[in-house]
A and B are shown apart, each in its own frame.
Chain A
Amino acid sequence: MSPLPQSTPSISRSLADIARQIKALFDEVDQVAREDFSRPVSTDVRVSGFSLTEPLNVLLNQVRARLVEKAETARLQQDALDELSKSRDEIENLRSLSAAIALAQTRDEIVELLRSTIRDKVIPFGGSALYQGSEELGFTLTGAWDTTEADAREIDRQKTAGFLQWVIRAHTTIAMPAEGKYPTAVYVPMNAGNQVIGILLLLTPRAVDEFTQSDQERVQMLCSQAAVALENARLVDQVLQMKQYNENILISLTSGLLAVDLDGRVTTLNPSGLSILNMAAPDILGRQLSEVPRLDSFARLLSDTISTGQDRRNIELELNFGEHRQILGVSASPILADQDRVIGALGIFTDLTPIKTLELQVRRSDRLAVVGQLAAGAAHEIRNPLSAIRGNIQLLNRKLQKLPEAEPLLVKTKSIIEEVDRINRIVAGMMDMSKDGALQLARVSINKVVRDVGYIVEGNYKEAGVGLEFVLDELLPDVQVDMAEMKQVFLNLYQNALQAMSTNGKLMVTTSRTVVGEGKDFVQVLVADTGAGIDEKHVEKIFAPFFTTKSDGTGLGLSIVHRIVEEHKGRITVESVVGKGTTFKVLLPAAPAGSAPPAPQVPASQTPAETAGG
């Protein structure tokens, strides 16, 4: 480096000139670098009439280099500003698209819009996949689109690499090198507020390092918008599901549920409730409960619940349906909003009527069973003194026969003997019926059975002023029956008939032979009364246990009849005309002719001692 020539004034002038120019340059450069990026910078420094020496050259080149650098930075800055404003427009554009995403309702719509917007406006991509979940519960693959087998493998591989977890934690979009057809896998977190609710994975042909900030920002913005929409859709879904769930509960509830608001207006009554109360929704929904006929006790219970704010459990309410009554079991509680504000009341109820009736019937049939046992014991006790009476009367009778003047008395003693025999038959019948266990089949004529049972009810019929007539086919084939059971059948039929008839009625019992189907021999018994008849809608129920229209009935009679007839491979049917009368038809298979010896005929006059214990 040679020293600067300093001797001549012109040199010093030139140096001053150069120094000025350099200073101006520095100023300009600083100016540019500091704020005014758009100004063109002159990089041309001229020194007139002077050959620059080495150090000055160095200085000038340094200045030039710095200048170029700064100008370069300034140009970058300017580009940045230009792009920034362009990108602001683009983002504005995207924003309107993302508004459409936010309006989409279902998950599929949202994801579809998101994917098509990204593809059209941001980056091309092939296969894509969506993971959904939460940071606490983890993420699972919930959808994949346009994925070839290779794409699917790559998506799987990416998942195991652990980038998903990183993105979930960092909440930022990343691009990772991929294997296979696409060089890059882009992970975009779907941020809803501060939470990641999903990750969209895109396989794209764009190389990892070709990504720009604007790409990242825009996919990120779209995905976050979609995330908010998804989250909203999920919440709406949840609410709907909750509502549906609640409605399902109401529908499947076998109990009735009735809710009223503070004014006592019915806001809810579930299907079971409607059917228990035997009402249609329009008759009651929205109406004042207290104005609904026969539900006033229910209304009172609920208004009490509202005013006291207290639960009431297992209350029995009696509703009056004209002559019909219904008993409800109700538990009532206030409906609370915000934990403590009463906004209504609800009652959950079941129909206790069948249970109550059943209870009553069970109680009554228990009582009947006890009576039956007592009667069997009593019958036994009665027969001993009875045979003593009969013996003595017979003795008396023989003596009287020898006294001609006692002739009129003989009529009396004969009558006494007949009556005693009748008592004997009744008692024997009762003892038969108290037997139980397996069928004890015996070959008998059905005529004898229907007649014998007649003796038992005769007295009651006479008392009621109702006639009892038998038309018996004397040539009937025998039947194989359990006497005790078969007597029950007719006893029940006779009793029902009597209960259905008023004075001057008449029961007609007819036996005959009939052939059913392919020449099968049957014995038919018609039990026809002239009573009230059976209401058409009851006909099919009368054989069901516990069906009764009588205030003191058990409803067991006909069900027992039915069971016994079936046990004997017989059939029972009914025909009835309301106001005219009812006819029960009992068919029993005839015993094969001569296949078994006839059951020992029990003569009506048989002494009690002979059958006792039989």
Chain B
Amino acid sequence: MVMEKSKIKELIAKIEKLPTLPVVVARINAMVQNPKTSAREVGAAIATDPSLSARVLKMVNSAYFGFPSQISSISHATTILGFNAIQNLALTATVFQLFRDNSGDELFDRRRFWEHSLGVGVLSRLLAEKTRYADKEEAFTAGLIHDVGKIVLDQFVHEEFKAVMGLVRANDMLLYEAESRLLGLNHANVAYIVSQKWNLPKKLQEPLAYHHAPGLSKYNPQLTGIVHLADILCRALKIGNGGDNKVPVLDKAAVADFKLNASDIEQLKNVSEKEIEKAEVFLEML
């Protein structure tokens, strides 16, 4: 089924109504790129948004990081968890804030959706550790927001998305295939538009845009492969629900370099439950 170009354009126009990220997030992104930025400067930037500060501090002090003592300032959190981690936390806290409307409907269960997202975040983090990806927190964030396109569709083109969900239910098919068929673009494509509009860190863009087609990744194929695999593992392990009940085919080439074997996967499975529990503080932000 070929979609009319104009229809797709219309859709994109609607999606682009999505609010911009608060300027503080963009500023932090820029600051963190500068190696000479001090922890104090990051703290001061986040402090301009007191509610963001509070949410970031809450996560910093959660079981997820398990730091042995109370961390009372963002600047100190920055020297402990690292500049990138704070940047990622600020981004996550903001994204969650934007989509905190949890009402949903009987077709798309937002609660289950965020559980799926958290699961993919945690598994991405574990996989990052296993495959020695440079930044585990970045992997967590990538996993956590990989399906942000679904939420955007649900929020900004609700009627169309409802039709997609109906198709998924009726045919027991993959959500992104139903999206492509009915809308002419899927949630990964939408995530790309979002990441452009939000000017997300480059390393995060491909994992969001290509998590269902990791072969397309050029700039950050490792993290793209990680999120691709984490997504499939989460579905196989039935952690949360991303909107469909099918498990997509694994792109073996994208994960071949990870050199994972059955016992690695088994081990991931065993630790994931506890790790997800630790990360549940993120869902509390919704």
Which residues of A are at the interface with B, using a C-beta cutoff of 8 A? 33-34, 69, 72-73, 76-77, 79-81, 83-84, 87, 161-163, 165-166, 172, 174-177, 194, 208-214, 216-217
User: Within the complex, which residue of B26, B34, B38, B132 is in contact with A211, where a contact is CB–CB below 8 Å?
Assistant: B38
25 examples of A-B residue contacts, CB within 8 angstroms: A79-B34, A80-B34, A80-B37, A83-B34, A83-B36, A84-B34, A161-B69, A166-B68, A172-B81, A174-B79, A175-B76, A177-B76, A208-B39, A208-B76, A209-B38, A209-B78, A211-B79, A212-B36, A212-B37, A212-B39, A213-B34, A213-B36, A213-B83, A216-B83, A217-B35
In the complex, what distance in Å separates the CA atom of A83 from the CA atom of B26?
18
In the complex, what distance in Å separates the CA atom of A263 from the CA atom of B67?
64
A-B contacts besides A175-B76, A208-B75, A209-B78, 13 pairs, CB < 8 Å: A73-B30, A77-B30, A79-B34, A80-B30, A80-B37, A162-B68, A174-B79, A175-B79, A210-B40, A211-B39, A212-B39, A213-B32, A213-B36
User: What B residues does A72 contact at CB under 8 A?
Assistant: 27
User: What B residues does A212 contact at CB under 8 A?
Assistant: 35-39
In the complex, what distance in Å separates the CA atom of A79 from the CA atom of B32?
11
Output the nearest chain A residue to B43 by Cβ-Cβ distance.
A209
Q: What are the interface flags for B50-84 relative to A under an 8 Å C-beta threshold, 1 for contact and 0 otherwise?
A: 00000000000000001111000101101111110
Q: Are A214 and B35 in contact, CB atoms less than 8 angstroms apart?
A: yes
In the complex, what distance in Å separates the CA atom of A172 from the CA atom of B35?
16
Output the nearest chain A residue to B67 by Cβ-Cβ distance.
A166
Output the nearest chain A residue to B44 by Cβ-Cβ distance.
A209
B95 close to A (CB within 8 Å): no
Q: Which of B1-39 contact A (CB under 8 A)?
A: 23, 26-27, 30-39
Q: Are A216 and B79 in contact, CB atoms less than 8 angstroms apart?
A: yes
- A166-B67, A212-B39 known; A175-B80 Cβ under 8 A: yes
Q: How far is the CB of B226 from chain A (nearest CB, A)?
A: 16
User: What B residues does A166 contact at CB under 8 A?
Assistant: 66-68
B side interface size, CB within 8 A: 30
User: What A residues does B97 contact at CB under 8 A?
Assistant: none
User: What B residues does A165 contact at CB under 8 A?
Assistant: 68
User: What A residues does B80 contact at CB under 8 A?
Assistant: 174-176
User: Within the complex, which residue of B27, B67, B76 is in contact with A73, where a contact is CB–CB below 8 Å?
Assistant: B27
Q: Are B35 and A87 in contact, CB atoms less than 8 angstroms apart?
A: yes
User: What B residues does A83 contact at CB under 8 A?
Assistant: 34-36
Q: Are B76 and A209 in contact, CB atoms less than 8 angstroms apart?
A: yes
Please name the 4 residue pairs, one residue from A and one from B, whose CB atoms are nearest each other, closest first: A214-B35, A80-B34, A76-B30, A162-B68
Q: Are B33 and A84 in contact, CB atoms less than 8 angstroms apart?
A: yes
Q: How far is the CB of B15 from chain A (nearest CB, A)?
A: 17
Which residues of B are at the interface with A, using a C-beta cutoff of 8 A? 23, 26-27, 30-40, 43, 66-69, 73, 75-76, 78-83, 132, 199
Interface of B (DSSP majority class):
helix
In the complex, what distance in Å separates the CA atom of A81 from the CA atom of B36?
11
Q: Are B79 and A209 in contact, CB atoms less than 8 angstroms apart?
A: yes
Q: Are B31 and A80 in contact, CB atoms less than 8 angstroms apart?
A: yes
Q: How far is the CB of B234 from chain A (nearest CB, A)?
A: 24
In the complex, what distance in Å separates the CA atom of A174 from the CA atom of B78?
9
Q: Are B35 and A209 in contact, CB atoms less than 8 angstroms apart?
A: no
In the complex, what distance in Å separates the CA atom of A213 from the CA atom of B81?
11
User: What A residues does B39 contact at CB under 8 A?
Assistant: 175, 208-212
Output the nearest chain A residue to B33 by Cβ-Cβ distance.
A80
In the complex, what distance in Å separates the CA atom of A77 from the CA atom of B23?
13
Q: How far is the CB of A29 from chain B (nearest CB, A)?
A: 12
User: What A residues does B30 contact at CB under 8 A?
Assistant: 73, 76-77, 80
In the complex, what distance in Å separates the CA atom of A172 from the CA atom of B136?
11
Q: How far is the CB of B81 from chain A (nearest CB, A)?
A: 8
Residue of B33, B73, B80 ringed by the most chain A CB atoms within 10 A: B80
- A84-B35, A194-B132, A209-B40 known; A216-B69 Cβ under 8 A: no
User: What B residues does A76 contact at CB under 8 A?
Assistant: 27, 30-31, 34
User: What B residues does A216 contact at CB under 8 A?
Assistant: 79, 82-83
User: What A residues does B82 contact at CB under 8 A?
Assistant: 172, 213, 216
Output the nearest chain B residue to A167 by Cβ-Cβ distance.
B80
Output the nearest chain B residue to A81 by Cβ-Cβ distance.
B33
Residue of B34, B39, B68, B199 ringed by the most chain A CB atoms within 10 A: B34
User: What A residues does B81 contact at CB under 8 A?
Assistant: 172
- A166-B66, A213-B83 known; A73-B26 Cβ under 8 A: yes
In the complex, what distance in Å separates the CA atom of A177 from the CA atom of B67?
14
User: What B residues does A208 contact at CB under 8 A?
Assistant: 39, 75-76, 79
Q: How far is the CB of B258 from chain A (nearest CB, A)?
A: 14
User: What B residues does A34 contact at CB under 8 A?
Assistant: 199
Q: How far is the CB of A486 from chain B (nearest CB, A)?
A: 88
Q: Are B33 and A77 in contact, CB atoms less than 8 angstroms apart?
A: yes
In the complex, what distance in Å separates the CA atom of A80 from the CA atom of B81?
21
User: What B residues does A175 contact at CB under 8 A?
Assistant: 39, 76, 79-80
Q: Are A161 and B33 in contact, CB atoms less than 8 angstroms apart?
A: no
Output the nearest chain A residue to B73 by Cβ-Cβ distance.
A209
User: What B residues does A33 contact at CB under 8 A?
Assistant: 199
Q: How far is the CB of B30 from chain A (nearest CB, A)?
A: 4
